Amino acid sequence: MRAIILFGPPGSGKGTQAKLLRECLDVPHVSTGDMLRERVRQDIENGARMAAKMQAGALVNDDIVNRLVEERLSQPDAAPGFILDGYPRTVQQAEHIRRWFDAGGIREVVVSLAVDYNEIITRLTGRRQCPACGTLYNLVSKPPRQDESCDLDGQGLVIRDDDREEVVRERLENYERQTRPVLEYFRSTGSSVRQIEAGNQPPEQIARRICAVLEEGFQENGSLLESRGKSAENR
């Protein structure tokens, strides 16, 4: 089983790249953001409180997110591998999932998408979504044919609460404070970590570069996994 962890600040293109990689690699795309929004929509497990945190740009409790991820990764379609998008976001989550990986003999490659923060703010505050079908647009890079209306059903587009500028800036501050150390954690524990510049290049071009580094990363990670297993035996 192979685990691909897409890493990067909000708006760096993790979701877009996960969808492209899913089509190429035929493994599921596991987005904690999507799972949490579905929990909120169905009002499952204190959805209102989770919604308030997400709208404020804060992170949801580690235990809740860890449980959601474990449940999803235990489903049959994730047996060959999976693409994690938006998880782990804290060192505690990273420690938790690494123990889960080690117990299952899973190899992970971390792909870090690097994008300038000013570009991220422009990207996210320009996003719009159809409230009926969920189609996403961007006023700069992917505008609708008719201003503020969905191309598919004509519904008026809306701004997601977590795409408002004040929330975007809060999310970026949270990333620097809580999530960037996760990348350092993976580096310090011997995981294969690759950084990809993901600024103004077309998504398909970025995806091709990711595929190349994944192949290299998994070849390298075979020996790392063996070393980790021996270390565990000696503890």
CATH number of the domain residue 6 falls in:
3.40.50.300
**pLDDT tens digit string along 3-58?**
999 988 888 988 889 989 888 788 999 988 787 777 667 665 555 555 555 554 44
Q: Based on the residue annotation, tell me whether 89 is a catalytic residue of this protein.
A: yes
Q: Is 155 among the domain residues?
A: no
Looking at residue 196, what is its pLDDT? 93
pLDDT tens-digit map of 76-86: 999 999 999 88
| Assigned domain for 153 exists | no
- The verdict on residue 33 lying in a domain is yes
Tell me the residue range of the domain where 91 lies.
2-115+177-234
Query: Could you say which residues of the chain have pLDDT below 70?
Result: 1, 39-40, 42-60, 221-235
Q: Residue 122 falls within a domain, yes or no? A: no
Catalytic site residue 228? no
Catalytic residue among 89, 98, 107, 128: 89
Buried b / exposed e along 36-61 (16+ C-beta atoms within 10 A):
bbebbeeeeeebeebbeebeebebbe
pLDDT of residue 130: 95
Which residue among the candidates 14, 39, 107, 128 is catalytic per the annotation? 14
d(C-alpha 49, C-alpha 184), whole Å: 30
On whether residue 142 sits in a domain, the answer given is no
127 carries an active-site annotation? yes
pTM for the model: 0.73
Examine the residue annotation and report whether 37 is marked as an active-site residue of this protein: no
Q: Which of 19, 22, 53, 160 is catalytic?
A: 160
Q: Please indicate, yes or no, if residue 211 is contained in any of the structural domains.
A: yes
How many whole angstroms separate alpha carbon 30 and alpha carbon 104? 18
Number of domains in the chain: 1
53 a catalytic residue:
no
Q: Which of 39, 127, 128, 228 is catalytic?
A: 127
Residue 164 inside a domain? The answer is: no
Q: Which of 98, 123, 171, 228 is catalytic?
A: 171
pLDDT of residue 67: 87
Q: Is residue 135 domain-resident?
A: no
